[in-house]
Amino acid sequence: MADDPQRNFRSAYYEKVGFRGVEEKKSLEILLKDNPLDLEKLSTFSQRFPLPSMYRVHVWKVLLGILPPHSDSHNLVGSYRKEQYQDIREALKLESQVLPRCSEMSPPDEKNEDFLSISQAMEEIAENPVDCYWLIKSFITQFHTKFGDSVPHLPKSLEHYLSQEEPGLLSHLKNNGALAQLPYNLWFRHCFAGCLPESSLQRVWDKVISGSCKILVFVALEILLSYKIMLLGISRPEGVVKFLCNIPQENTDAIVTKAIDLWHKYCGTPIHAM
What are 15-49's pLDDT values in tens digits?
544 444 445 555 555 555 555 445 455 555 454 44
CATH code of the region 149-267: 1.10.472.80
Write down the pTM of the prediction.
0.67
Structural contact between residues 158 and 220, judged by C-beta atoms closer than 8 angstroms: yes
Which of residues 137 and 42 earns the better pLDDT score? Answer: 137
Mean pLDDT of 10-16: 49
Report helix angle 21-33 to 39-48, nearest 10: 170
- Statement: residue 269 has pLDDT above 60: yes
Q: Average per-residue pLDDT in the chain?
A: 75
Class of domain 1-66: mainly alpha
DSSP assigned state of 35: -
CATH architecture assignment, domain 72-147: Orthogonal Bundle (1.10)
Q: Where are the domains of the chain?
A: 1-66, 72-147, 149-267
Structural contact between residues 237 and 181, judged by C-beta atoms closer than 8 angstroms: yes
Structural contact between residues 186 and 192, judged by C-beta atoms closer than 8 angstroms: yes
Overall residue count recorded for the chain in this entry: 274
Instruction: Give residue 76's pLDDT.
Output: 38
DSSP code per residue over 195-221: TB-HHHHHHHHHHHHHT-STHHHHHHH
